């Protein structure tokens, strides 16, 4: 079975606490909403303490063109991706030339040549490395990228795969957008990057601790839900789209989805020891708990990531995975990775320590 050997995460230097972002949101949106004080209650309810951005807070006060924002995306995303990759390789005791496949996940900017090609140069990867860029998966991208990396390792058990996920959600902020979705986005989203090393089972291990093995994955895309989450491409950039119905969809559909995934593997919810859920928001985690019958303690690591970093889109679930791996799984323990994204889709992975 493919195995996850190392995870590393990084964030950009500019830190914004929720009181600062709330004050900025009041300044931006007070003329558009007479009930601004009621709407700003979302900041207190978010359970977010701070977030990290590649640009300082005063940058958001000015109208920015898509051209400027995308240029900043290419510059900062490449640098964050490079740092996360080097840290991940350092944790694994490997050099860049040992990587056979590079998978790159992002949805908050556009680059051609894609950013994975830039990392080939920036990291000193082999020129014959396989490159797999994945775009448009949104908040599900980290989990979907991990599934594809593990499936690649299962097909090519003698290879090492480096999965890199980076999002600069702050750069997608549109100053002119007076929608409620944009107001909520000012409360919720942040920037960050993660890298994961996945190895096929024919690769000789360097570590003696039990690795996390990939057992299976499942992608579910529900019909007639294209308007639940995504981007609207506009003149000033990528305009955020997400529905207030997401927690309801989780409560209605997630338990059946998870049980259908676990049943063929002779596993039930009661057999799981670890829950690695993408913290899309406080209401999303509550909906997971209600749907799957979990205690708040089960999603505590997801809540910690949300508290310290907000929702960074695709890499967020990998931040939770890193925290979970730091706690040392015992041999035989199982865990469920879950994330939701545009489509409207879910990605589930079953992991086991062996």
In terms of Cβ atoms closer than 10 Å to its own Cβ (0-12, 13-18, 19+), residue 164 is: buried
Exposed (0-12), middle (13-18) or buried (19+): which is 250, by Cβ within 10 Å? buried
* Cβ atoms 5, 196 nearer than 8 A: no
Give the active site residue among 88, 139, 169, 215.
139
CB 137 within 8 A of CB 131: no
Residue 218 zone, left/alpha/beta (φ > 0; ψ -120 to 50; rest): beta
Whether 139 is catalytic: yes
Q: Where does the chain have alpha helices with state H?
A: 18-29, 36-39, 41-45, 66-92, 115-123, 141-155, 180-188, 246-262, 282-292, 300-309, 316-326
Q: Is 223 exposed, middle or buried (0-12, 13-18, 19+ CB in 10 A)?
A: exposed
| Residues involved in catalysis | 139
């Amino acid at each position: 079975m493919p195995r996850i050997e190392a995870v590393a995460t990084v964030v950009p230097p500019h830190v914004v606490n929720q009181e600062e972002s709330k004050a900025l949101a009041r300044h931006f949106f007070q003329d558009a909403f007479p009930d601004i004080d009621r709407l700003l209650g979302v900041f207190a309810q978010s359970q977010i303490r701070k977030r990290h951005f590649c640009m300082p807070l005063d940058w958001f006060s000015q109208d920015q063109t898509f051209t400027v924002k995308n240029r900043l995306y290419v510059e900062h995303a490449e640098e964050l991706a490079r740092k996360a990759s080097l840290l991940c390789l350092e944790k694994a005791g490997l050099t860049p030339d040992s990587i056979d496949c590079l998978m790159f996940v992002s949805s908050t900017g556009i680059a051609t040549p894609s950013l994975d090609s830039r990392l080939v140069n920036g990291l000193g990867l082999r020129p014959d490395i396989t490159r797999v860029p994945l775009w448009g998966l949104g908040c599900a991208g980290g989990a979907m990228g991990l599934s594809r990396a593990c499936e690649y390792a299962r097909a090519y058990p003698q290879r090492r795969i480096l999965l890199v996920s980076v999002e600069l959600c702050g750069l997608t902020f549109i100053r002119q957008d007076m929608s409620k979705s944009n107001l909520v986005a000012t409360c919720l989203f942040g920037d960050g990057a993660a890298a994961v090393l996945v190895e096929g089972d024919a690769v000789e291990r360097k570590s003696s601790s039990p690795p996390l093995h990939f057992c299976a994955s499942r992608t579910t895309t529900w019909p007639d839900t294209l308007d639940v989450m995504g981007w609207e491409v506009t003149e000033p950039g990528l305009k955020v789209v997400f529905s207030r119905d997401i927690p309801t969809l989780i409560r209605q559909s997630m338990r059946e989805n998870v049980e259908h995934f676990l049943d063929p593997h002779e596993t039930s919810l009661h057999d799981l020891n670890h829950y690695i859920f993408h913290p899309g928001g406080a209401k999303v985690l509550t909906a997971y708990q209600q749907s799957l019958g979990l205690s708040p303690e089960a999603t505590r690591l997801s809540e910690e990531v949300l508290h310290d970093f907000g929702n960074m889109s695709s890499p967020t679930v990998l931040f939770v995975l890193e925290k979970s791996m730091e706690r040392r799984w015992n041999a035989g323990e199982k865990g469920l990775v879950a994330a939701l994204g545009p489509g409207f889709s879910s990605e589930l992975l079953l992991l086991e320590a062996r």
